[in-house]
Amino acid sequence: MPKDSNETYWASRIDEDEPQAPLVSLLVPCFNEEEVLPLFLERMQPILRALPGLRHEIVFVNDGSTDGTLAFLIGQTLRDPSIRVVDLSRNFGKEAALSAGLTEARGDAVVPFDADLQDPPEVIPRLVERWREGFEVVIARRVDRSCDGFLKRETANAFYRLHGRMTDIDLPENAGDFRLMDRRVVDALNAMPESCRFMKGLFAWAGFRTACVDYVRQPRAAGRSKFSGWKLWNLALEGITSFSTLPLRIWTYAGFVVAAGALVYALAVAVRTLVLGVDVPGYASLTVLILLFGGLQMIGMGMIGEYIGRIYMESKRRPLYFVRARFGGEPSSERS
Ligand code: UDP
Ligand code: MG
Least Cα distance to 141 among 107, 96, 174 occurs for 174
Least Cα distance to 74 among 66, 62, 64, 91 occurs for 62
Q: Which domain holds residue 225?
A: 23-229+320-327
Helix/strand/coil for 148: helix
Ligand 1 atom at minimum distance from 225 CA: 20
The response to whether residue 176 sits with its C-beta less than 6 Å from ligand 1 reads: no
Please indicate, yes or no, if residue 8 is contained in any of the structural domains.
no
The response to whether residue 97 sits with its C-beta less than 6 Å from ligand 1 reads: yes
Residues 279 and 306 occupy one common structural domain: yes
Least Cα distance to 248 among 201, 197, 308, 194 occurs for 308
Residues 165 and 276 occupy one common structural domain: no
Q: Measured between alpha carbons, how far is 250 from 243 in angstroms, rounded to an integer? A: 15
Residues 38 and 173 occupy one common structural domain: yes
* pLDDT at residue 2 in the model: 46
Determine how β-strand 137-144 pairs with β-strand 175-182: antiparallel
Please indicate, yes or no, if residue 11 is contained in any of the structural domains.
no
Please indicate, yes or no, if residue 107 is contained in any of the structural domains.
yes
- Distance from the CA of 25 to the center of ligand 2, in angstroms? 20
88: CATH: 3.90.550.10
DSSP 106-138: --SEEEE--TT--S-GGGHHHHHHHHHTT-SEE
How far does CA 325 lie from the centroid of its chain? Answer: 24
- Distance from the CA of 226 to the center of ligand 1, in angstroms? 5
Q: What are phi and psi of 24, to 5 degrees?
A: -105, 125
Number of domains in the chain: 2
Residues 233 and 185: beta-carbon distance below 8 Å = no
Count of all residues that appear for the chain in the document: 336
Please indicate, yes or no, if residue 334 is contained in any of the structural domains.
no
What are the respective helix, strand and coil percentages of the chain, to the nearest 5?
A: 50, 15, 30
The response to whether residue 136 sits with its C-beta less than 6 Å from ligand 1 reads: no
Q: pLDDT tens, position by position, for the chain (336 residues)?
A: 444 455 555 555 555 555 678 999 999 999 988 888 998 999 888 998 888 888 999 999 999 899 888 999 998 888 888 899 999 999 988 888 999 999 999 989 999 999 888 888 889 999 999 999 989 989 888 876 666 677 777 887 788 888 777 777 777 777 778 889 999 999 988 888 777 677 777 877 778 888 888 887 766 666 667 667 787 888 888 787 777 777 777 777 787 788 778 878 878 887 888 888 776 667 667 777 887 787 778 778 878 887 887 788 778 778 888 888 888 876 544 443
pTM: 0.69
Q: Measured between alpha carbons, how far is 264 from 253 in angstroms, rounded to an integer? A: 17
- Distance from the CA of 191 to the center of ligand 1, in angstroms? 24
Please indicate, yes or no, if residue 14 is contained in any of the structural domains.
no
The response to whether residue 225 sits with its C-beta less than 6 Å from ligand 1 reads: yes
Q: Measured between alpha carbons, how far is 279 from 284 in angstroms, rounded to an integer? A: 13
Q: Measured between alpha carbons, how far is 180 from 242 in angstroms, rounded to an integer? A: 23
Take atom 17 of ligand 1 and give the residue whose Cα is closest. 226
Measure the CA dihedral 291/296/300/305, to 10°.
Answer: 30
Least Cα distance to 167 among 89, 112, 246, 233 occurs for 246
Helix/strand/coil for 314: helix
Determine how β-strand 109-112 pairs with β-strand 175-182: antiparallel
Q: Give the C-alpha distances (Å, rounded to integers) separating 9 from 1, 111, 161, 322.
A: 12, 19, 37, 28
The response to whether residue 163 sits with its C-beta less than 6 Å from ligand 1 reads: no
Ligand 1 atom at minimum distance from 224 CA: 20
Residues 178 and 271 occupy one common structural domain: no
Residues 216 and 269 occupy one common structural domain: no
Q: Measured between alpha carbons, how far is 150 from 153 in angstroms, rounded to an integer? A: 5
Residues 124 and 252 occupy one common structural domain: no
DSSP 212: E
- Distance from the CA of 119 to the center of ligand 2, in angstroms? 8
Residues 225 and 131 occupy one common structural domain: yes
Residues 305 and 212 occupy one common structural domain: no
Determine how β-strand 137-144 pairs with β-strand 210-216: parallel
